[in-house]
Amino acid sequence: MEELKLKGKIIGLDTMVFIYHFEENQLYSPLTFSIFESLEKGNFQAITSILTLLEILVKPKKENNLLLTERYKLLFETFPNLQVKELNENIADIASSLRANYNINTPKC
């Protein structure tokens, strides 16, 4: 796959990027592999929300897979160049503006 052109950038990663990667989705896993490999090498920085972790943990918990649950938690805590952002009032304010202006949906928790 062609090298990602993200050197020095900060990108946001949605839950589906992680799900496609973890589940080795045939259509998207070549791209997700490239994303995570480049991220690990420090070619760019990435941000995701704590809601991503919430969504990622549902399947292993439904399957009572405690080992996988802990692996995912550890990955989110330690993966190089990945920041997991907590939600706060400022983020809620910005997100509501984005929803109002662009009709972006928020996760159904």
Q: How many other C-beta atoms lie within 10 A of the C-beta of residue 35?
A: 23
Q: Which amino acid is at 73?
A: K
Fill in the amino acid letter for 59.
K
| Global confidence as pTM | 0.80
Mean pLDDT of the chain: 91
- Tell me what the mean pLDDT of segment 12-29 comes to: 96
Model confidence at 3: pLDDT above 70? no
Query: Which domains does the chain possess?
Result: 10-102 (3.40.50.1010)
> Is residue 2 over pLDDT 60?
no
Alpha helices (H) along 1-109: 15-22, 29-41, 50-62, 66-78, 89-102
- Average pLDDT of the residues in 72-92: 94
Order across the sheet with 45-49: list the strands: 10-12, 45-49, 82-85
Report residue 99: phi and psi, to 5°. Answer: -65, -45
Confidence of residue 105 (pLDDT cuts 50, 70, 90): confident
Among 21-35, 58-72, 94-108, the range scoring the smallest mean pLDDT is: 94-108
Q: What is the share, in percent, of the chain residues with pLDDT greater than 70?
A: 93
Residue 1 confidence (pLDDT): 46
